[in-house]
Structure 1
């Protein structure tokens, strides 16, 4: 796990000119006379051996620039089995399809042969809807398409400008956006109430009592938001500094802005044949006669393997999506870590490319395992939430739900910084999880709380920016188009598209915050300072006193 960077990249050491990892752990004093040697000390206890082992192991944590061996290979093999099975059976479904599936409406029951036969004179009109859709396109559809395309094109420069503004004017943007967190919901709440009251159709469908209840509920939600800001006001300044550090780190690695959307595009391209396979899988079967109340009709009967293939393909798609999310986090972490562990007057070369090579090479099994855990946690949590909304009740059910939620929270706790650490060191998933926990424990840092309010603030700023964009879109549509009241619908979809893009940007910035936090913990553990501006900010994060004493420092 040691770094192979050259000696000129050595950071400032808090312990002098030499790194603590260069000091001998054991020393043997020379015997200058012929006196008998002193008695041997008692053998070290298990705790002493463990502490010595931990000290020699963890003081070497740094970015692994050297060759990395493959880790967690069984999970990579299992993932490939799922993918190859999905594509293999999908190709079989394409070539084994029944051409009569699209002509099901042309088949009628023949009492003479007691089977379904094709009626030649009956024409199928199943494809007429496509022509009808395109021939009846309205101005609203054209304006909607153009608005969404323009929004998608403008989303990248909006994100870049957003990032530049966050780096240079972080404090101004945060404090200027805070009032809008309250004013925009109040504006939409009052505007909706007045517009619905003046509209006869809306007021008839939504009585005054219910409108007043919704109005009061939204005001109560705004009051909760105000209380949250007041209760956390002392952390706003620290949050501003953390956002500024993360924005600077992301600006130093702008290649991520092109690599991450490219990975998302690759996932879409990868999904395309699977969707085609799912469509053709339905046409694997035969037309059979069914009797109901003495009447016979022709229905489609799928082959027995088709439902199993649907389950396999959907599981593969969900696992692939979770693995791609973890791969993107891995690439972000590896790229930012290389920037962090580089001197200020030099820039890392091909950092994003090497992170991609590690993510889809030696650490691909680790990413598959992490994605599988995330996927399983989400599925189990959705099942638990569904069971909570059902009729299942009783003490046993409540205890089971509590145990499951505790287990899922433990997995989330374990997984929070594991993939960041694996990207830095190249270690396997389980070892990365254990080493991350021990690293943060030794340095009295919390594995749960980095500064979660920064994520909420960024999401709120993204909401404000997208809302302003939606209002501007609505004003432009009202001025240059005659869509009428449909302009609200078009502006709402433009707002939805832009806020999804901005929230993805916030997700990237949030992972940068986590990565810098792990790098800061490694610096603190080694007694070194690679990025002075990071230490000046992260040193004010709250210290966790719940871990007990550290086996190295004894604190």
Structure 2
């Protein structure tokens, strides 16, 4: 794609001037002091107050956790063994009666499940790499071959389940015919909805193919991302492990006290109960806030690393390959721009937390009035506004090294000046990729089920093992799709910077992204678009 056409830049942008909004005063009277472009290292430190606040919360959580660990009271686990001694007016520990619990499990099921999940986890990485190679070279063939299975796979599985349950005596007794028919019809309705979505978006499949191919090519040139990003997630788990331990031992901070109670006949007596220290709930709140902020920050850090690495590839000179681009992105993410990432993580973590609270309140509140409807619409509008502002902010910060607020404002102005939508990139590509990994994981589960049926005696439990293997592979490949989505967004911002400056750093990328609509309600006519090279 794009070979031998590096000099065809005027065919895409015959005159960069019309790309600017003639009625926008900010685009004409307030020009940027310097052109927007990728800023290499070293970069100045940004948003230091947010980085300092994050580090302060983390250190406070760990320090108080160590305090809770060393101050724990072992009586917390045996509070029910204490009784009130009237002679001493205190709670006294009785002789503990230790008992051992015996658990039994099916060793064959556990063994087969463990082997299957371990094999699936080990095969997930080669499957993801093979999928990346196929998407880079045979995108069109893969998409057109997979699209029919978006409908056929759930339909066939639904029919197979209905027939197998009807023939099996145990399943037939557990699920009467009326329930089986109801589930069958419900799943087929979902299949019909999927079919309608495919048909409604069929005109955009060709564009989707090229977007996926560009993203796969960019990711293939920076393959180390697929190895480093999971390590960042592992580092987050290592960071969470002591905090979880500290939370457990924080509940052991307290003492067994005697509390006066009233009996059934009105008599007064004393009972021994466990009383936590007053500071424990506050520590729980601090630890939960720290964990939520840390998780959101790590998500934004991954996006930053992807964006910084892909941007260096995009803006590299033709025929050259950037060296140490991933190392540079990691250094910037956890160095000069760490405050910016913490800022973005704080915003997104707060938005997701408030959204979860609002959704939970809506589910518990059974009243449906006009005021409740208005409040719900206002909350959804605010959530969409935050998503809108944050959509490309961290991508832009990774490219330019700007602070969070400056990156949010500049990225919005950049897309607005060039009539590009900050909401719409090309969501069809994400749906197609999710459909592909769903079909691939379903085929893998069928193979696992066939192998287990041939070599094991699990019976109906093999379906559970196959379903868990399908779920694990979906999670791993879903992470691969998440990385590709961030690559698509990053290339989109790089394309917008090129468009704003009237330059073309990657000709093949421009030939694809120029096909995207200039705004949510505008799509250029076919006659004005450059032909795509398949």
What are the equivalent positions in structure 2 for 1:394-473 lying under 5 Å apart? Answer: 394-473=369-448
Provide, for residues 521-549 of structure 1, a one-character-per-residue CA deviation record: whole Å limited to 9, x for no partner.
111111111111101111111121779xx
- 2:494 is aligned, of 495, 515, 519, to 519
Deviation of the 1:14 alpha carbon:
5.4
- Displacement after TM superposition at 1:48 (Å): 6.4
Matched with 1:532 is 507
Q: Which residue does the alignment assign to 2:144? A: 175
Secondary structure of 1:146's counterpart equals helix
Residues 194 and 178 of structure 1, relative CA distance in 2, 3 Å threshold: same
Query: What is the Cα-based RMSD across aligned positions, in Å?
Result: 2.3
2:9–2:507 Cα contact (<8 Å) kept = no
**Per the alignment, do residues 185 and 82 of structure 1 end up closer, same or farther by CA in structure 2, a change over 3 Å counting?**
same
CA distance in 1, matches of 2:515, 2:50: 39
Do residues 475 (structure 1) and 423 (structure 2) align?
no
Superposition pairs for residues 295-334 of structure 1, below 5 Å?
297-334=271-308
Larger radius of gyration: 1
Q: Kindly tell me: are residues 411 and 13 of structure 1, through their superposed partners in 2, closer, same or farther at Cα, counting changes over 3 Å?
A: farther
The corresponding residue for 1:359 is: 333
Q: Which residue of 2 aligns with 1:51?
A: 28
Q: State the SS of the aligned residue for 2:43.
A: coil
Between the aligned partners of 2:227 and 2:154, the Cα distance in structure 1 is: 34
Deviation at 1:104, TM superposition (A): 2.9
Report whether the alignment pairs 1:73 with 2:43.
no
User: Which residue does the alignment assign to 1:388?
Assistant: 362
Is 2:317 the counterpart of 1:343? yes
Secondary structure, aligned partner of 1:529: coil
The number of residue pairs the alignment matches comes to 502
Aligned 8 A contact 1:12 1:530 in 2: no
The residue that corresponds to 1:86 in the other structure is: 61
Could you tell me how far apart the structure 1 residues matched to 2:119 and 2:37 are?
44
Counterpart mapping for 1:132-147 below 5 A: 132-133=102-103, 138-147=107-116
Give the Å deviation of 1:423.
0.1
3-state DSSP of counterpart to 2:275 = strand
Shift in Å at residue 12 of structure 1? 7.0
Structure 1 Cα separation of the partners of residues 285 and 349 of structure 2: 15
User: Could you tell me the TM-score, scaled by structure 2's length?
Assistant: 0.89
Higher mean alpha-carbon deviation, 287-296 vs 231-240, is at 287-296
Show the 5 A alignment for 1:82-161.
Answer: 82-120=57-95, 122-125=96-99, 128-129=100-101, 132-133=102-103, 138-161=107-130
Give the one of 224, 230, 237 matched to 2:193.
224
Using the alignment, how far apart are the partners of 1:235 and 1:213 within structure 2? 34
Q: Could you report, residue by residue, the CA deviation over 1:321-365 in whole angstroms, capped at 9, with x for unpaired residues?
A: 110000000000000000000123111010000000110011111
Are the equivalent residues in 2 in contact too, given 1:14–1:527 (CA < 8 A)? no
Change in 2 beyond 3 A, CA 1:509/1:50: closer
User: Is the 2:41–2:332 Cα contact (8 Å) retained in structure 1?
Assistant: no
Shift of 1:84: 1.1
Could you say which residue in structure 2 is the equivalent of 1:187? 156
Contact 2:65 2:243 in 1 (8 A): yes
Distance 1:47 1:411 in 2: 23
Correspondences of 1:197-346 after superposition (within 5 Å): 197-290=166-259, 291=261, 293=263, 297-346=271-320
Change (3 A) 1:409 1:136: closer
Question: Is this contact kept in 2: 1:74–1:365, CA < 8 A?
Answer: yes
Checking the alignment, whether the CA contact within 8 Å between 1:470 and 1:494 is kept in structure 2 is yes
Check 1:398–1:275 CA distance in 2 against 1; reply closer, same or farther (3 A cut): same
What runs of 5+ residues in structure 1 fail to find an aligned partner? 1-10, 22-45, 548-555
Q: How many angstroms apart in 2 are the aligned matches of 1:292 and 1:483?
A: 55
Shift of 1:57: 3.6
Q: Distance in 1 between matches of 2:336 and 2:7?
A: 31
Does the C-alpha gap of structure 1 residues 464 and 372 become closer, same or farther in structure 2, counting only changes over 3 Å?
same
Change in Cα spacing, 1:51 to 1:546, as seen in structure 2 (3 Å) is farther
Task: Tell me if 1:64 matches 2:39.
Answer: yes
Paired residues of 1:471 and 1:491 also in contact (CA < 8 A): yes
SS in 2 for 1:53: coil
Cα deviation code 1:131-181 (max 9, x no counterpart): x34x75611111111211111111111111110011011111111111111
